Amino acid sequence: MKFPDLILLSTRAFITRPMRTSLTVLGVSVGIGTVLFLVSLGYGLQNMVLNKITTADALLSLDVYPGSSELMALDQGQTKKISEIKEVVETSQLINFAAQINFGDLTGDCLVKAIKPSFFRLGGINPAGGELFSDNDNYGAVLSAAGAKLFNINPELAIGQSITLNLFISSLNEEGAEEIKTIPRADKYIIRGITDDENSSYIYVSADSLADLEINNYSQLKVKVSNEQRLEQVKNELTGLGFFVSSLSETINQAKSIFRVIKIILALFGLLALVVSAIGMFNTMTVTLLERINEIGILRSIGASADDIRLLFLVEAFLMGFLGGLGGIIFGYLGGEIANLGLNIIAQSFGGQPLDLFYSPPWFVGFIIIFSTVIGLLTGVFPSHRASKLNPLEALRYK
């Protein structure tokens, strides 16, 4: 049987039985669309969460903390030693101060984090409002949302306001006892941005603005490694030196593992709809076989082989599966866009920010088409086998 004749005979069902064939394709489309919709939701949630907590530089950075031994303090000497490690390309320190913030006539306890601006980049810190301070902005500050609420002010309204600090610095007196000194800072800081942290009250300020205090011990060090493959090597080296080391990439990998499970669960719900549509397609192919027994007898009597008959039904199942996959992609995409639009309208009505909750990786879209086509072929295997085994004489006498 020539290929054009094969295609023509395989598509007859779309002409002679358009309603039934269209409903079968629609059923497959709904099943495939449900899978795409739910899995795209899983990918969208993953991207939304991970994009908020990380940047490219943050994934290559290690968080280094002082060790339990006094010899493992993070001072300038140790920082220089760490920066000389072959695979380390950049370091950025943080110093914590207990402090009070003076905001107009109000005063509140807060943690001051003195940093270099590079710490934002290496830590994957992005402002929820406003902007981060730069190298040339020694008296810019970034306040947490919880810090703004400490003064009963909307975080967005805090941007541009000025504050002063009273730092509490511990030191050892002549007798070796620890004592706390209060150091008022006359300089005013301007709040440039707000982070979205509503759990902890803290403020980032430039370390250069506190350089006169000559603090040599750091609370934390960000260490950027040359590439991802060297992260574990440098981490082990720093741990061997006695420092406590963690990395954001570990948190990201754990989050990805959780989202992987979520996507599998969502896909399983979608597969239930796909199984139902596959059963409907199998039923359609079986009914088609019964209706075309006489036709099969005629084809066999004029020279069509059993393999031609088998191929005829397989191509028909292939086309329905393929078209169902294309329809499923359209349904899944439109469903995601409509759901996303509705959620964003609701979010904006409550003062929230627009979000993109759906993302369909190109490879998954391609996989969906192949998968639906394979499902179509599988549902056509049994009817095609039965059709190829029919006796031509009995097929001609069938009523």
**Which amino acid belongs to residue 63?**
D
pLDDT at residue number 142: 92
pLDDT of 199 reads: 85
Q: Which two tokens stand for residue 50?
A: 């991970």
Block residue for tokens 């020539």: 2
> What is the token pair recorded at 347?
């979010």
Reduce the secondary structure of 260-301 to three states and give it as a string. HHHHHHHHHHHHHHHHHHHHHHHHHHHHHHHHCHHHHHHHHH
Please give the full DSSP string across 56-108, using - where no structure is assigned.
HHHHTEEEEE--SSGGG-B-HHHHHHHHTSTTEEEEEEEEEEEEEEEETTEEE
Helices (H), the chain: 3-10, 12-16, 18-53, 56-59, 76-83, 118-123, 145-150, 155-158, 231-240, 248-291, 293-301, 306-349, 362-389, 392-397
pLDDT digits (tens, 9 = 90+) for 320-365: 888 888 988 998 889 888 888 888 787 677 666 677 788 888 888 8
Tokens of 58: 């943050």
Q: Please name which of 195, 146, 141 lies closest in space to residue 163, comparing C-alpha atoms.
A: 141
Q: Is the separation of the CB atoms in 159 and 129 below 8 Å?
A: yes
Rounded to whole angstroms, the Cα distance separating 388 from 182 reads 93
State how far the Cα of 226 lies from the Cα of 88, in Å rounded to an integer.
6
pLDDT attached to residue 8: 65
Question: Which pLDDT value is given to residue 113?
Answer: 93
- Quickly tell me which residue has 């950049």 as its tokens: 90
Pick from 238, 316, 264, 196: nearest CA to 65:
238
Counting DSSP H helices and E strands in the chain, the numbers are: 14, 10
281 close to 317: Cβ distance less than 8 angstroms: yes
Number of C-beta neighbours around residue 86 at 10 A? 10
Regarding beta strands 244-247 and 202-206, do their DSSP bridges make them parallel or antiparallel, or are they unpaired? unpaired
Rounded CA gap, 12 and 385, in Å? Answer: 19
How far apart are the C-alpha atoms of 336 and 332, rounded to whole Å? 6
pLDDT of residue 398: 59
pLDDT below 70 — which residues of the chain? Answer: 1-14, 16, 50-56, 68-72, 172-178, 249-251, 288-294, 296-297, 299-300, 303-304, 347, 350-353, 390-399
